[in-house]
Amino acid sequence: MNYDQARYSEDGTYEPLLSEKDETTVEVDSSLPDDLTRDEVTLPSLSEPELARHYTRLSQMNYGVETGPYPLGSCTMKYNPSFTEDVAALSDAGVHPDRSPESVQGTLAVLHGLQEYLAEIGGMDAVTLQPPAGAAGEFTGILVARAYHEANDDDRSEVIIPASAHGTNFASAAMAGYDVVEISSAEDGRVDLDALDAAVGDDTAALMLTNPNTVGLFERDIVEIADMVHDAGGLLYYDGANLNALLGRARPGDMGFDIMHYNVHKTFATPHGGGGPGAGPVGVVSELAEFLPRPQVRGSNGGYELFAPERSIGKVHGSMGNWLVLLKAYAYISRLGDDGLRDASAKAVLNANYLASRIDLEVPYGPFHHEFAATAGDRDAIELARGMLDHGVHPPTTKWPEFVPEAMLTEPTEIESKSSLDDLAAAFNSVASADDEALADAPTRTTARRIDQVGAARNPRLSWHALDDDADE
């Protein structure tokens, strides 16, 4: 993608930078030392309508979950209801993190309530709200597991992870100082019990598992899996990426999991990534509660107080975590209630199965829950995905998991209507029936055309100045 391509809108309209529209040189008058300041600076000089129109046009060049379906399998990109933003914008929500517990009893009540909600939903006994993202939650959970084994003078060096797991699972285990033991999937797409039996042993600290797994399959042998790990003295870790398939219907704690993290952006409709603040609470069974990060919130004398668990691993983030994100999760759960959460999981499963039944691509595994992995067969999944962009929808995750050839991992989530799913299916079927020549130039209706993804990943250009430098070469 070159400099000009980066700034053309869908209809081919060029949107210049603010500095290219109009700019004014302003003299700098500062009390700072001369070697730290400039004599003058050039700034855009625009009226408010010009500025508003510029950013509105830029927003129209982008695609987001407010624009249309965003069925990235595993990523769970679902719409965040605006009422949670209204709650977070309330003046009473603007609480400074250094205020005393006595002066923020309402805030602590909300945090304690969220701890209780998440514990009940996950079947856990205690929850920390500190981790600022799902991956940070994973790392925190594995640190808790390590602290538990060390407290028992149990020297364990390995964490077992299925090949289909999220890449952050492998990274979290390695960052915590463990050797990663990868096990393959069985022919039905689930955990290979023979491979697990061969891998588990005295060195096993934990097995990290997602259930339903990456292709939406429920691990039917989960009780046996839990017994195998526990009999070896290890712990069972639940990656909460796919929890929205189970809400109100099954709980990881009841399956034998000892630790879990919650992706509140995936399950409870808080903002998803983008480098901004997130939240990845961690729940544990009672035997591990004393190792959770400090501080925790608990009831005390008719109010709430902060306390440090006896063998806490320490802090993993400032204060109690990202308060406003946690507040949004609390508001979402409170608004939906038990019946609403059960309905959300039902629709997540229904939507995935309906969409899969409507597309003209093979879906090799089933029955599945909230997501499915279609295969492009002998076609290139990325080429089909590029073609889908021209139909005004976002394509699914491609090429992963690797055990599905030319995978198109798809998760419509519970938010999409039947008509929306029909439109998505029509896009799937159009590219599935198109020949390779018809897709050779796709996408043709998007702001950015065929970008060099490998080059962008290896040589990122992080500012417009870098683009200017490239243009001058």
The alpha-helical segments, DSSP class H, found in 190-272 are 193-199, 222-231, 252-255, 264-267
- pTM, entire model: 0.90
Chain centroid to Cα 270, Å, comes to: 10
Q: What is the CA radius of gyration of the chain?
A: 25
By three-state DSSP, how is residue 371 classified?
A: coil
The answer to whether 372 touches 425, Cβ cutoff 8 Å, is no
**Beta bridge partner(s), residue 299:** 304
Rounded distance between C-alpha atoms, residue 177 and residue 225, angstroms? 24
pLDDT in tens, the chain (473 residues): 333 444 444 455 578 888 888 888 888 888 889 888 888 888 888 899 999 999 998 888 888 888 899 999 999 998 989 999 999 999 999 999 889 999 999 999 999 999 999 999 999 999 999 999 999 999 999 999 999 999 999 999 999 999 989 989 999 999 999 999 999 999 999 999 999 999 999 999 999 999 999 999 999 999 999 999 999 999 999 999 999 999 999 999 999 999 999 999 999 989 886 666 899 999 999 999 999 999 999 999 999 999 999 999 999 998 889 999 999 999 999 999 999 999 999 999 999 999 999 999 999 998 999 999 999 999 999 999 999 999 999 999 999 999 999 999 999 999 999 999 999 999 999 999 999 999 999 999 888 888 888 888 898 888 767 766 665 55
User: Residue 78 to residues 65, 69, 70, 393, 414: CA-CA distances in angstroms?
Assistant: 7, 8, 7, 14, 8
Rounded distance between C-alpha atoms, residue 295 and residue 341, angstroms? 29
The β-bridge relationship of strands 303-307 and 296-300 is antiparallel
User: Residue 172 to residues 136, 207, 234, 293, 428: CA-CA distances in angstroms?
Assistant: 8, 12, 17, 17, 35
**Beta bridge partner(s), residue 206:** 159, 235
Domain boundaries, the chain: 5-62, 82-335, 338-456
Would you tell me the crossing angle of helices 381-389 and 418-433 to the nearest 10 degrees?
120
The CATH code of domain 82-335 reads: 3.40.640.10
CATH fold of 338-456 reads Aspartate Aminotransferase, domain 1 (3.90.1150)
